[in-house]
């Protein structure tokens, strides 16, 4: 194991900073300390835990811009978006704590003869393993409900973005008792050790492959799981779609954060009547996107997170072109870890780029003759996270209902109203987070009943 874990700026290759990786041999002791601290933390009661976590808002606010700059430097997100991620977490903290507190409050259910009270208790120790593409938002969404439920938390941020996540954790640590929240740094070696340890819940956001490993390893001790996994989201552009609106959405959702978003649009099925105009318009938008230094306010798309991710994207693109796809935009060589936004037409369902999660700034367009064909092709994937359908509202809603993804947007992205969970279907998730139902995934439900 290296003495330090370096965080590298993907835009220029410079070292942003470093942290000490946690020796795997220390993890059992870390879990033991968490178990010892958890009893007192749970004993405070929900109201007191909520009060303490709200009080972290001051520390988070004071360091929000520092977190935003680190996010941008560590993973290449344009600075304005990185600052938005950090500031957004700060601005929403109090409301989120209120919502989680309400979701975890006792709930009474009665019938004619029995009065039952549903109580939401702690599970014990939660291991929260979070990704690099939203290194502050994702800990925010899984660690806070885990803590509010009365669990002690061991958080392992991605080895690619340890600094921004560490600052976020330090803000919470400033108001928490020792060992209620601990941070483990490292790569998959530390992650696997946490999953194998004596924890009661694993909350993970990351790849489908890693999620499968966690499920297998957790099965022996029946650990509770909250897994948000990958996606291969489809956009369906129906014959009666507003073409301009569909292109605007695609240009944003295919290329935002260099396509490194779990619900990025990776497959586009366009009705023949609109296809040529859609392809030309999206290609023009892609060519006009400003790519460069993430710190430049004019930059819209930054680099890939590292050379390995760039190589993965380029391999899928080149394989598709060799198999007959037309490259309408992008595809030229780019320096360092940059990949110019790419638009591919004439893709086929058999191409790897239509099967594997790309996680890069690539729009893949396939023409279709009917709604049924679009639905069949969109559903032909093991993934089922999000999707979007553009068309006349009632028509698009009917088509959207036929998709076997968990979240579908009609003439918009897949994100729902406040209070709904963020959830995946098929191999895009197991358990879910956010919203009343999602917050309760971090607790053990108990039912106390008595006769009336």
Beta bridge partners, 127, equal: 154, 202
Q: Give the residue numbers marked as catalytic.
A: 228, 262
Above 70 in pLDDT, residue 442?
A: yes
**Cβ partners under 8 Å of residue 240, min gap 6:** 391, 392, 395
* 357 φ, ψ (degrees, to nearest 5): -70, 120
- The domains of the chain, with CATH numbers, are 5-229+425-451 (3.40.605.10), 233-410 (3.40.309.10)
pTM: predicted TM-score of the whole model, two decimal places: 0.96
* 38 φ, ψ (degrees, to nearest 5): -65, -35
Above 90 in pLDDT, residue 100?
A: yes
pLDDT band at 3 (very low <50, low <70, confident <90, very high): confident
In our burial notation (b when 16+ CB lie closer than 10 A, e otherwise), range 15-29 reads ebbbbebbebeebee
In our burial notation (b when 16+ CB lie closer than 10 A, e otherwise), range 36-70 reads ebbeebbeeebeebbebbbebbebbeebbeebbbb
Mean pLDDT of 91-113: 97
Q: What is the pLDDT of residues 164-185, one digit of tens each?
A: 999 999 999 999 999 999 999 9
Neighbours of 372 (CB within 10 A): 11
Between 137-148 and 162-173, two packed helices, what is the crossing angle to 10 degrees? 30
Q: For position 297, what pLDDT does the model report?
A: 92
Q: For position 160, what pLDDT does the model report?
A: 97
> Across the chain, what does the average pLDDT equal?
97
**Distance in angstroms (rounded) separating the CA atoms of residues 238 and 315:** 30
Mean pLDDT of 12-17: 97
Q: For position 2, what pLDDT does the model report?
A: 62
Q: Which of 38, 57, 36 is nearest to 140 (CA)?
A: 57
Question: What percent of the chain is modeled with pLDDT above 70?
Answer: 100
Q: Which of 245, 244, 228 is nearest to 410 (CA)?
A: 245
């Amino acid at each position: 194991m290296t003495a330090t874990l370096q965080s590298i700026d993907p835009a220029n290759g410079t070292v942003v900073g470093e942290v000490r990786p946690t020796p795997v041999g220390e993890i059992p002791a870390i879990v033991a300390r968490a178990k010892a601290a958890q009893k007192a933390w749970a004993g405070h009661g929900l109201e007191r835990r909520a009060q303490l976590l709200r009080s972290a808002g001051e520390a988070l606010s004071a360091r929000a811009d520092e977190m935003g700059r680190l996010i941008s430097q560590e993973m290449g997100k344009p600075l304005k978006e990185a600052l938005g991620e950090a500031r957004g977490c700060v601005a929403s903290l109090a409301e989120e704590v209120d919502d989680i507190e309400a979701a975890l409050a006792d709930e009474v259910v009665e019938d004619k003869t029995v009065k039952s009270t549903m109580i939401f208790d702690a599970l014990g120790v939660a291991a929260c393993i979070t990704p690099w593409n939203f290194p502050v938002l994702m800990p925010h969404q899984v660690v806070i409900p885990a803590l509010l439920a009365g669990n002690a938390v061991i958080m392992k941020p991605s080895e690619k973005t340890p600094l921004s996540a560490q600052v976020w954790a330090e803000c919470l640590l400033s108001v928490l008792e020792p060992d209620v929240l601990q941070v483990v740094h490292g790569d998959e070696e530390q992650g696997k050790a946490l999953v194998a340890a004596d924890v009661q819940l694993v909350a993970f956001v990351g790849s489908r492959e890693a999620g499968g490993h966690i499920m297998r390893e957790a099965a022996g001790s029946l650990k509770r799981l909250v897994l948000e996994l990958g996606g291969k989201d489809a956009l369906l552009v129906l014959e009666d779609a507003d073409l301009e609106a569909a292109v605007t959405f695609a240009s944003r959702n295919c290329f935002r954060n260099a396509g490194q978003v779990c619900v990025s649009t990776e497959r586009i099925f366009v009705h023949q009547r609109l296809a040529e105009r859609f392809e030309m318009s999206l290609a023009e938008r892609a060519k006009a996107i400003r790519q460069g230094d993430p710190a430049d306010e004019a930059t819209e798309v930054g680099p890939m997170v590292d050379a390995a991710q760039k190589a993965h994207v380029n391999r899928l693109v080149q394989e598709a072109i060799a198999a007959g796809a037309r490259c309408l935009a992008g595809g030229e060589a780019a320096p360092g870890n940059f990949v110019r936004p790419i638009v591919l037409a004439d893709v086929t369902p058999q191409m790897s780029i239509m099967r594997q999660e790309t996680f890069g700034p690539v729009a893949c367009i396939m023409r279709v003759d009917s709604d049924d064909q679009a639905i069949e092709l969109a559903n032909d994937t093991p993934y089922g996270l999000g999707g979007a359908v553009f068309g006349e509202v009632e028509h698009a809603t009917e088509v959207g209902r036929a998709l076997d993804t968990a979240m579908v947007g009609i003439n918009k992205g897949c994100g729902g109203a406040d209070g709904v969970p963020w959830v995946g279907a098929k191999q895009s998730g197991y358990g879910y987070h956010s919203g009343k139902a999602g917050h309760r995934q971090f607790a053990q439900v108990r039912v106390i009943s008595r006769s009336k």
